[in-house]
Amino acid sequence: MSEANDTIEITTERVKPRDAELQVTIADGGGPLVVLVHGWPELAYSWRHQLRPLAEAGYRVIAPDMRGYGASDCPPDVQSYDITALAGDVVGLIEHYGNGEPAFLVGHDWGSLISWPLSVMRPDLFAGVACLSVPYFPVAEQSLIDVLTEVVGDSFHYILHFQEEGVAEAEFDSDPIGSMREVMWLGSGEAAAQGEQLTAMDSAERTTMLHGGSHPLPPWLTQGDLDAYASAFAKTGFRGGFNWYRNLHRNHSLMSQWRMQPVKIPAAFIAGDADTVLTSTGEVGPEHPMLVNQAAMVPDLTVTMIEGGGHWIQQERPDEVNAALLAFFEQVAGGKR
């Protein structure tokens, strides 16, 4: 690995790794490739606190606006966002920016739902995988959509709410800055501490994900940050991100050959203990069902839980996330695992 460089320049360029052109943000420290994959509703901008520190530690770091987001292409049809397309974009970026050596893959939220499967499908490409917020769960007998339909019944669930084209778009597109303010606040550790955190499931009377409340900006999100997100979504709309959710059932079929497969490469899981992904399914601790299942399916696993951290953990607690990532990379690169 190259020596640390405190004069790292952050640049952007457009690349077409597969059938969609992506805008990629780059911080090149000269060493092993690190690919940062954002989730919903985010951008490469959500990795703004990771790019330079990881590059200064000697890594070549790239963060794309994934297809459907920001300055990248936003194909109109739903199937353009299935796991084959999304994973293909990441593989194409590795082919473009890598030097033939295994890369480190880092995902957050939906980025984890791309990164975990990729680590199973193409372990040859990766030195290690680090996922934030969403633990590993293997492809099971039923798709998540089928499971939710059975479990939820007449109640509201945001993932099912996103399935019908046009409904969630009308809700979010009408007020991008208000939508982003509410989502960012309700997913935060600060909202959890005040008992206001977003829940995945609610009563049958609920008909929208957003309630239009007036929420403060959490202390880790500036007005400039909010404006950056809102400006991007004002241009593209939210349809691209919703289309990722609309492929969950299709993805289950596409990945059937990897059903119940473990992750065999070194892996890290980093999350806040107030993340609604975890708190919605039980008290966060060693016996949490998602974490127990993950431990059984990921034998070479490092777990970092950040006290009080919410869903947007790399933005909320960047120093702790960066330290955990660098420790994991160094452990893997040093052959200590």
- Domain boundaries along the sequence of the chain: 10-333
Other Cβ atoms within 10 Å of 220 Cβ, number: 17
Flag whether pLDDT at 1 surpasses 50: no
So what's the pLDDT on residue 3? 47
Angle at which helices 83-97 and 110-121 pack, to 10 degrees? 70
Q: Are 239 and 169 in contact (CB under 8 A)?
A: yes
Identify the weakest region by mean pLDDT among 1-10, 13-22, 229-238, 264-273: 1-10
Query: What is the pLDDT at residue 4?
Result: 47
| Active site residues per annotation | 109, 311
Burial of residue 129 (CB within 10 Å: 0-12, 13-18, 19+) is: buried
End-to-end Cα, the chain, rounded Å: 18
Q: 328: part of which helix (H) or strand (E)? A: helix 318-333
Tokens of 169: 């778009």
Options 3.30.70.1400, 3.40.50.300, 1.10.3720.10, 3.40.50.1820; CATH for 10-333 is 3.40.50.1820
284-326: pLDDT as tens digits: 998 999 999 999 999 999 999 999 999 999 999 999 999 999 9
pLDDT range class, residue 6, cuts 50, 70, 90: low
Task: List the beta bridge partners of residue 64.
Answer: 24
**What does pTM read for this prediction?**
0.95
Q: Compute the half-sphere exposure of residue 187: CA atoms within 13 Å on the CB side of its CA.
A: 25
Using the 8-state DSSP alphabet, how is residue 44 labeled? G
Rounded Cα gap, residues 113 and 132, in angstroms: 10
State the average pLDDT for the chain: 93
Does residue 9 or residue 282 have the better pLDDT? 9
CA torsion angle 181 314 32 55 (round to 10)? 80
Question: Are 77 and 99 within 8 A, CB to CB?
Answer: no
> Can you give the pLDDT at residue 335?
64
Q: Does pLDDT of 2 surpass 50?
A: no
